Amino acid sequence: MEVGAVRPEDGTHHDGTEERTVRRTATAAATAACALALAGCSAVRDLDDHLGGHSCTDVGVFEVMSVDLTRVLPFEGGDYDVVLALPDVGLTTTTTLTTNSDGPLEVHGDVDLDDEPVAVAVEARGPDGAVVYRGSGTHTPVLVQPNGPRCDPDNHWLTLQATDGGELVPLDPYGRVTDDRGRLAISLYTECGVQWLDDPTGTFGPWVREAGALDDGAGGPPPGWGAPYQRGWAAFTGDRVVFEDELGHREVFRPSTGADRYEPYPM
């Protein structure tokens, strides 16, 4: 076909003149539609979210106020009533923490934070009503932007850790809780005896007790162990994990193999 000839099926020129015109028109229409869409988004999101064409999401956008008490609550079991107070903003909340569960030993406060210092006070009482911990301090919330530096301009977190000396010290909101020896806090599952330890780092498979299962002879935890969980600390020493707690237990776990039958939870 000669250059400039007309295609019989659609009437367009072979040199693409009309095709280019159609494409430019379609592109302009699409651009206009996108502009309208962005205008709609800007009505419900901060304008800063779209500076430089950056699009932010709502994932991870929430404010956090928490105090971890893993290092100061006894691990022998029982319920502890913890009062968290932020007098500067008029917040007082009471939470019951159970030490023989697998959840984090931390209390939370629902409060709107900014970059101003906040006074925090914590008091924990044991099952008998006696005070087992009392601490306080003043700290400045930090700006956390999980969606990038252009997002979440008012997303402030305040995460603290209670220490043995009655202090509340900053805690990395994405970090693991450790003791003064660098060991990781962990909840060892004991309902079916002491045998399995889930990797405290979350990067490897389960570990199995090096000396075999330890139980009461009937498939339950031995006397002196908490149930269904025993809290303690895990230290990595080569290819072994050493578990220790404040009751004097010390157990060594090795990496599991295909010959180990992994049944850490009852069916």
Please write the tens of the pLDDT for every residue from 143-159. 888 777 777 777 888 99
DSSP secondary structure code for residue 14 in this structure: T
pLDDT in tens, 167-179: 999 998 888 899 8
| Average of per-residue pLDDT across 229-246 | 92
Q: Beta strand pairing status for 250-255 and 196-197? A: unpaired
At residue 30, the pLDDT reads 42
250-255, strands of its sheet edge to edge: 184-189, 229-237, 240-244, 250-255, 207-209, 196-197
Spatial distance between the Cα atoms of 177 and 229, rounded to a whole number of angstroms:
17
Contacts of 26 (CB under 8 A, 6+ apart): none
pLDDT band at 68 (very low <50, low <70, confident <90, very high): very high
Q: What Cα–Cα distance (Å) separates residue 47 from each residue in 3, 39, 159?
A: 50, 10, 29
Contacts of 51-57 with C-beta under 8 Å, sequence gap 24+, read: 51/150, 52/150, 54/148, 54/150, 54/151, 56/147, 56/148, 56/150, 56/151, 56/152, 57/147, 57/151
Task: Tell me what pLDDT residue 144 has.
Answer: 84
What distance in Å separates the CA atoms of residue 68 and residue 171, rounded to the nearest whole number? 8
Residue 50 phi, psi (nearest 5): -110, 10
Can you give the pLDDT at residue 86?
94
Q: DSSP secondary-structure letter at 236?
A: E
Cis omega (within 30 of 0) for bond into 141: no
pLDDT tens-digit series, residues 184-218: 999 999 998 999 998 777 767 789 999 999 999 98
User: What is the C-alpha to C-alpha distance for residues 260 and 256, in angstroms, rounded to an integer?
Assistant: 6
- Terminal CA-to-CA distance of the chain, rounded, Å? 75
- pLDDT of 60: 59
Cα–Cα dist 173/68, whole Å: 11
Say which residue, 203 or 129, is predicted with more confidence. Answer: 129
Residue 203, amino acid: T
3-state SS string for 109-152: CCCCCCCCCEEEEEEEECCCCCEEEEEEEEECCEECCCCCCCCC
The CATH class of 64-170 is: mainly beta
Residue 81 · residue 98 · CB < 8 Å: no
Confidence tier at 58 by pLDDT (50, 70, 90): low
Mean pLDDT check: name the lowest of 12-16, 32-36, 73-77, 96-100. Answer: 32-36
CB-based contact 157:186 (threshold 8 Å):
no
Using one digit for the tens of pLDDT, what is the confidence trace for 69-100? 999 998 877 899 999 999 988 899 999 999 98
Rg (alpha carbons) of the chain, rounded to whole number: 29
Structure tokens at 164: 């043995």
On whether the pTM is more than 0.85, the answer is: no
